[in-house]
Chains A and B, each alone.
Chain A
Amino acid sequence: MKVMKQLLKTFKVAFRSIYRNKTRSLLTALGIIIGVAAVIMTISAGQGATQEVQSQISGLGTNLLMISTKTEHRGGIDVRMGRPIDEKDLLMLQKNSVWMPKLSPMIANGVRAIGPQGNKSTTIYGVSSDYFDILNREIVSGDAFTVEDVKTARKVCVIGETIKKELFSSADPVGRQIRIDKVPFTIVGILEEEGKGTMGQDQDDMLIAPYTTIQNRLYGRRGGYNMIMASALSEDHIQDAEIEATELLRETHRILEGEEDDFEIMTQVELQEITGNVTGILTLILGAIASISLIVGGIGIMNIMLVSVTERTREIGTRLAIGARESDILTQFLIEAIALSLAGGVLGIVLGVLGNQIIYKTTNFYIPTAMDSILIGFGFSVLVGIVFGYFPARKAARLNPIDALRYE
């Protein structure tokens, strides 16, 4: 009880002395302030980005599987390692698959689209009519193209909001014509707006058309697909679907036992894990860099505490003479260091939260201030106070009272 009261009083005295030396305290704690703010902002930004990516990936549909040719990173570019995924694979899967009721190839191409309001370079995706179900993409006006459209390779397309705005202004363009690389297509539907992606890309700047049309009418190309997308029967059957696809593809690709797959299957869960890892590592690196400034801040505190011990040598001598034990002096100086870094930590938290708000206001990138980052910042500042305050405090406590009393 008495000890608690004592500690509380020491804290009070320490805070009062911090307040008394406002400028010096602020400069001393600046390192901690910046460090804590940086830690909070980086961790928050990292977590914000992770959440954003994760929610976008979940938005893709939790049953999603993506089958593509195996690529390897060589000298900075992705090199295809196996034979391309093509129509033969698609037909085979459509015929044999039990766990993947919906399948769609995907062919992506950069094109120039021309509408009444102007022209724009964009990307066209050739897919099957299952595509909209697989990726949960809603049509807000008109309709998606049908199985029949795909079979007969009709020149129809669904457009994103950005295309609509830039090439057709406000009028509803369903039923109207759009020229894609000089070939006229009829617009049958408008995609629901998705907004900006994690990396800032516009997810509404796209055209979607039957893959057959793109292969037959636009390029006459009958090569491979970028990938085949599939959705599993249900979330519980993603594993089954993956195993099934692997077995079927190995058979058609005639891969012998013991040989490696020449294709890759990525499920939505794996995608989430990978991006989670990437953003997690990023957050960790940024956080580590930010915490370096906390260490620098701690050294600043140690420096000032050492100065303070020297300055107050006589006070320490007096306290020892009138009955303070070494542990009393140690506690006093330790608490002063902790109080200093704690005050810095609190200011740093305020600055960090404010910084997140400013980023939100200026860039529209919403960063929810992570609660754990506040705790980490708070805990770190106390820890820094203890670690860097201990050495000066011990120096103070070990002073010989006679020498300290004589100190000029």
Chain B
Amino acid sequence: MGPKKKVIETKKISRVFNTGDIEVRALTDIDIVIEEGEFVVIMGSSGSGKSTLLHILGCLDKPSSGEYYLDGVYVNSLNKNQLADIRNQKIGFIFQSYNLLSRTTALENVELPLVYDRSGRFSNSSELAKKALEQVGLGNRIHHKTNELSGGQQQRVAIARALVNNPALILSDEATGNLDSKSSIDIADLFVRLNNEGKTILMITHEPEIAQFAKRMIYLRDGRVLTDELIENRSTKESALKDLEQTT
């Protein structure tokens, strides 16, 4: 086995916001490499720059300086349409509030990224969407409207939507933020399973018990990487549920 493919590589990324006269440094000299098959959690207090970093890594924003390579593509040089296309092809987003189309079936929601696919990689989008829903354990809910599903189920639909285009990277922004503890553990466990199947996952959370499911933790403070280390004693669904019982 040769060296693993780098899904994310940043070189001295900084992001500066100019709001009137005040210059706000949100990120300073971020160097991160994430390889294929990793499961990384980014933590940090609010204002530490984790959202800004996520936006840049998700190709929704560009760094003020530094270089960013996503799956070998030099993102800095891309224009708006190319950014849209690379988001479509290489990234699966998961949001805190699911961001599903309401009054639309789970299947149609999951198909949505394929609607915008311009590469022509996918021939049967509804078949792929169905498979993705089965992957997240919603094979029996494909024709349900999203507003008929529970929060945990809705987030699973969103995860299926993030999987359907077979992205190089799954980006999760506080995916468990709106869920109860039990559902949160289920979602975290789902991430672990997907990671075991080979998916590269990067998630942001401020819940330590959820972060503990990941393999590696990057801790941000004031826009800089404070620590970047492997997680020992990773949580499993069983251990997390046990902890949950003890605390209540």
Contact = CB atoms under 8 A, between A and B. Distances in A.
To the question of whether A and B form a pair in one complex, the answer is yes
Given A2-B120, A328-B116, A323 B95 contact: no
Contact of B93 (A6, A322, A328): A322
Interface in A322-354: 322-328
B157 to A, nearest CB: 12
Interface string B24-67: 00000000000000000000000000000001001011000000
Contacts of A144: none
A401 B173 CA distance: 15
B116 A20 contact: no
Interface in B134-184: 161, 165
A20 B113 contact: no
Interface stretch (B68-76, B78-86, B205-213, B216-224): B78-86
Contacts of A315: 99, 101
B116 A321 contact: no
Interface residues of B, number: 25
B88 A323 contact: yes
A128 B103 CA distance: 82
B60 A324 contact: no
Nearest to B81: A325
Interface string A299-317: 0000000000000001101
Interface residues of A, number: 21
B99 A323 contact: no
B99 A405 contact: yes
A401 B60 CA distance: 7
B117 interface: yes
Given A314-B99, A405-B99, A321 B60 contact: yes
A9 B108 CA distance: 12
Given A2-B120, A402-B55, A325 B84 contact: yes
Contact of A321 (B58, B85, B97, B115): B58
A321 B87 contact: yes
A328 B117 CA distance: 11
Interface string A362-383: 0000000000000000000000
A326 B85 CA distance: 11
A323 B85 contact: yes
Which of A9, A318, A321 gathers most chain B CB within 10 Å?
Answer: A321
A320 interface: yes
A24 to B, nearest CB: 14
B89 interface: yes
Given A2-B120, A323-B87, A324-B116, A20 B103 contact: yes
A317 B61 CA distance: 13
Given A315-B101, A402-B61, A326 B95 contact: no
B112 interface: yes
Contact of B112 (A314, A319, A402): A319
Interface in A65-87: none
6 contacts: A314-B99, A315-B99, A320-B60, A321-B58, A321-B99, A405-B60
